[in-house]
Amino acid sequence: MENSSNKNMNKVFEQLAKIKMVDPSENLYVKTINRVQRQSIIPLFWASAVACLLIAFISAEIFVVSKKKNNYTDISVVIYKTNHFSYNE
């Protein structure tokens, strides 16, 4: 029984010894880096869509502010005035 298991193990080890190591091509690193760099770029469509939405939002905000009637024409109504009568020196 021992001999048969040793023979089987020897066959396995012989087969494992015959496996050749794979050598990658020399330009594999450059190809991988180029592919990663291409994928990280934001598409021009999405950049232009965001820019258009931002311009539309700012334009709408300016339009709303310009059409809004301002009830506080006097700045003194908005600013809080302190009373310094109790601090006579």
The number of folded domains in the chain is 1
3-state secondary structure of 13: helix
pLDDT tens-place string over residues 17-33: 898 888 888 899 999 98
Query: What is the reported pLDDT for 21?
Result: 84
Residue 50 lies in a domain: yes
Query: What is the reported pLDDT for 87?
Result: 58
- pTM of the full predicted structure? 0.38
Long-range contact set of residues 26-33: C-beta below 8 Å, sequence gap at least 24:
none
Residue 84 lies in a domain: no
Q: Which domain holds residue 10?
A: 2-78
Q: Write the DSSP symbol of residue 40.
A: T
Residue 86 lies in a domain: no
Q: Which residues lie below 8 Å from residue 72, measured CB to CB, with a gap of 6+? A: 78
Residue 55 lies in a domain: yes
pLDDT tens-place string over residues 55-81: 999 999 988 888 776 555 555 655 666
Residue 83 lies in a domain: no
Percent of the chain residues past pLDDT 70, beyond the cut: 70
